[in-house]
Structure 1
Amino acid sequence: MGIEQQSKAGAPLVPGAHPAGAAMMRAAVQRRYGPPSVLDVSEAGVPLPGGGDVLVQVGAASVHPGDYFVLTGEPYMVRLVFGLRRPRHGIPGMDLAGVVAAVGKDVSDLCPGDKVFGWSTAGALAEYACVPAKNLVPMPANLSVVEAAAVPTSAMTALQALRDIAHVQPGQTVLVTGASGGVGSFAVQIAKAFGAEVAGVCSARNVDLVRSLGAHHVIDYTRTDFTSADLTRTGTRYDVILDNLEAQPLAAVRRALTPTGTLIPNSGRGGRWIGPLGRIVKARVLSGFTRQRLRPFTSLGKRQDLLTLADLITTGQVTPVIDRTHPLEEAADALRYVGAGHTRGKVVITV
């Protein structure tokens, strides 16, 4: 496929509307909000990079709950960002890894042929994706393209929660719920790398996995409730709780927190209209009446954080956990599985 035949720089990806002679690619196309079945793997035009962009030949792209929310358009508040009546971008997916195919005129630190990984606002579930250069970094040599694609959003979320929000220090105790999931599997490893004593909450089938990630203590939630009065009365409390599930009431989780500890709610789920916003507001209000810090947050993509993660990966302190891979033609199956909420690590789509 000749890149020189592509359509005008900056043109949106509009499935089914291609200038004559434009280069084409396979992509998972979404024309409306709905269940994963609305995805159709078909042809779309290959975009040209703008001045500060990079065209990446995608080798793999991972999917996470945020992609599922954007696909379905629920909670409805996501439509304020991604399009009110239909998705503004015809191709979903954010996290990717691959090879630089072309660069914009203002890009000087990346060249065609470079292996990179990073994130975009959309368009990763395709053979080519146009990505701002600032969102990409070199792929660590000890990662496969599938592993690299699994890193960006989930690992940055875990890093920012533990380092920037909770300020985890050596010797502190950190509890991670959903410890076998996408964010949780990274959080266990990052907390350990920071010198914390880590406890992970998961189901019985994932106990060995979470222990292999470095958790000092593993709690099978089908047998033990970490918020129970019996445990908290005997001193089993944590300096930091990263709650990726929010399966327990806020008041119950606070019982498992030290008097000055930090609780970070991070499930992303909630009501059909405003999602987790109600719980976020409640946590913010409660923070004004307690020494405990209740800190919901929104992860932001930062290139420096991706470089920090690349260093942790290169030194062997963090390793992506891959649950399963799907070819591009099975993108709907991959998102359906992620939407069910029981992943072990990350789900990756190979292109």
Structure 2
Amino acid sequence: MKAIVQDAYGSTETLRLRDVERPRTGDQEVLVAVRAAAVDPGVLIFMVGRPYLVRLAAGLRRPRVPVRGRDLAGVVTEVGARVTRFRPGDEVYGTSLRGSYAEFTATHQKRLAHKPANLSFAQAAAMPVSGMTALRAVRDSGQVRPGHRVLVIGASGGVGAHAVQIAKAYGASVTGVCAPEKTEFVRSLGADDVLDYTRAEIDRDGPVHDVVIDTGGNRPLSLLRRALTPRGTLAMVGGDWTKGPLLGGYGRQIFGAPLLSTVLRQRLRAVSAVERTEDLDELSDLVGSGALIPPVDRSYPLTEAAAALRHFTDGRPAGKVVITVDPHDA
């Protein structure tokens, strides 16, 4: 099969389209013919091997898994002996630890769900990592309830665009923070208000938000807290991985937030990265109800995966960047 392979950490220049062996499936694994995959910050982090802490999981000197990509949508072609939820021919979406920028990938059945019938493969591939992260930020870390005021920082990005829609579905009033050229896009997601960060800072309205969801960047905790009510919750998703070689922009979650949380009434939480069928099923329900539409900014064919990653980094996409294996899914 053809796949986007990387033999050494580095920029997109290290990526190669090569023929590699098709993965074998374990007893609880499913082989999926990939129709589309998506780009997320984790792909870039594992591509460059920074911050350096990720190499403990990814491989100290070179990527342990050479094929890039996590999000996927496609068609089941084989199932392991103990797989009970899927059969060949099923259209599925989810994540893979074997790499999804390939014609085929194998993944555990607990990382997959049936693809919503009203989504294209490209739309479905845009949803797993960003959608599950946004769901955990809204539902678990933020504990958003009807009537809450929610501020989503980075509302035009992959996680942010999902978080705006999910928070609205949970009954919240949502303000999205984004660049001026993305304001109409964020409003189209259902945001009640949009804050242009080039004109005002996130504490523009004072301490009025019950939940602040920070999907990136590196704003200091003191500034983020000024936008929260006295008993509000800050849910932090990722960080600016380009800031510093060891921890990147994750120092707030690792050190600052846990220490401050011991003495504050405000809740400062790092959003955990868990990928499971139950969360995919809830996202599918939101899609089925019309409350959630995965936003796709642009699609690239598998042969142009490096260009897709560069656009994700430099092109300021509105929503997700998707890589399609079948040209009909572009």
Output the TM-score relative to the length of structure 2: 0.95
- Aligned partner of 1:63 in structure 2 is 39
2:161 is paired with a residue whose SS is helix
2:283 maps to 1:283: no
1:272 pairs with one of 228, 232, 245? 245
Q: Distance in 2 between matches of 1:217 and 1:317?
A: 18
Q: CA RMSD in A?
A: 1.2
Q: Report the alpha carbon displacement of residue 340 of structure 1 after superposing the two structures with TM.
A: 3.5
Match of 1:187 in 2: 163
CA distance in 2, matches of 1:185, 1:122: 27
Aligned pairs for 1:169-208 within 5 A: 169-208=145-184
- Are the counterparts in 2 of residues 185 and 345 from structure 1 also a CA contact under 8 Å? yes
> What CA distance in whole angstroms lies between the structure 2 residues aligned with 1:245 and 1:158?
12
Q: When the two structures are aligned, how many residues end up with a matched partner?
A: 322
> Is 1:349 aligned to 2:317, yes or no?
no
Q: Identity of paired residues, percent?
A: 49
Stretches of 4+ aligned residues off by more than 3 angstroms = none
1:251 to 222, 245, 249: 222
Does the 8 Å contact 1:246/1:265 carry over to 2? no
Distance in 2 between the 1:204 and 1:247 partners?
A: 19
Aligned-residue offset at 1:341? 7.5
Comparing 183-192 with 273-282, which one deviates more in the overlay?
273-282
Deviations 1:287-330 (A, max 9, x none): 11211111113221021000000000011100011011110111
**How many Å apart are 1:103 and its aligned residue?**
0.8
Partner residue of 1:135?
A: 111
Give, in angstroms, the shift of residue 122 of structure 1: 3.2
Per-residue CA deviations over 1:142-200 (Å, capped at 9, x if unaligned) read 00000000000100000001101111010000000100100000000000000000000
The residue type equivalent to 2:147 in the other structure is G
Aligned to 1:109: 85
Greater Cα offset, 159-168 or 186-195:
159-168
Report if aligned partners of 2:83, 2:109 keep a CA contact under 8 Å in 1.
yes
Residue in structure 2 matched with residue 18 of structure 1 by the alignment: none
Residue ranges of structure 1 left out of the alignment (5+ in a row) = 1-24
Taking the aligned partners of 2:68 and 2:284, their CA distance within structure 1 comes to 25
Amino acid across the alignment from 2:4: A
Query: Is the alpha carbon distance of 1:276 and 1:248 closer, same or farther for their aligned partners in structure 2, counting shifts above 3 Å?
Result: closer
The C-alpha deviation readout for 1:18-52, integer Å capped at 9, x for no partner, is xxxxxxx1100110100011000010111121111
Q: Is the radius of gyration larger for structure 1 or structure 2?
A: 1
**What are the Cα deviations for residues 243-293 of structure 1, in whole angstroms up to 9, with x where unaligned?**
113343211121111000001122332421122342111111011121111
**Distance change (3 Å), C-alpha of 1:107 and 1:308:** same
Residue in structure 1 matched with residue 312 of structure 2 by the alignment: 338
1:305 equivalent in structure 2: 279
> How many angstroms apart in 2 are the aligned matches of 1:278 and 1:224?
25
Residues 147 and 348 (structure 1), Cα distance of their counterparts in 2 relative to 1, 3 Å cut? same
Is residue 146–residue 348 contact of structure 1 (8 Å, CA) maintained in 2? yes
User: What is the distance in 1 between the residues matched to 2:157 and 2:259?
Assistant: 29
* In 2, Cα distance between equivalents of 1:239 and 1:282: 20
Q: Does residue 94 of the first structure (1) align with residue 70 of the second (2)?
A: yes
Contact 1:324–1:346 under 8 Å retained in 2: yes
Question: 1:105-138 CA distances to partner (integer Å, 9 max, x unpaired)?
Answer: 1112211111000101131000000111111111
Runs of 5+ in structure 2 lacking a partner? 326-330
Farther-moved stretch of structure 1 (162-171 vs 242-251): 242-251
Look up the match of 2:134: 158
Code of the residue aligned with 1:274 in structure 2: it is: L
TM-score (norm 1): 0.89
8 Å contact kept, 2:217–2:239: no
Letter in 1 for 2:126: A
8 Å CA contact 1:175, 1:201 repeated in 2:
yes
Distance in 1, matches of 2:97 and 2:184, equals: 35
SS at 1:140 equivalent: coil
1:84 equivalent in alignment to 2:60: yes
Q: Does 1:328 pair with 2:280?
A: no
Alignment of 1:218-257 (within 5 A): 218-228=194-204, 231-232=205-206, 237-257=208-228
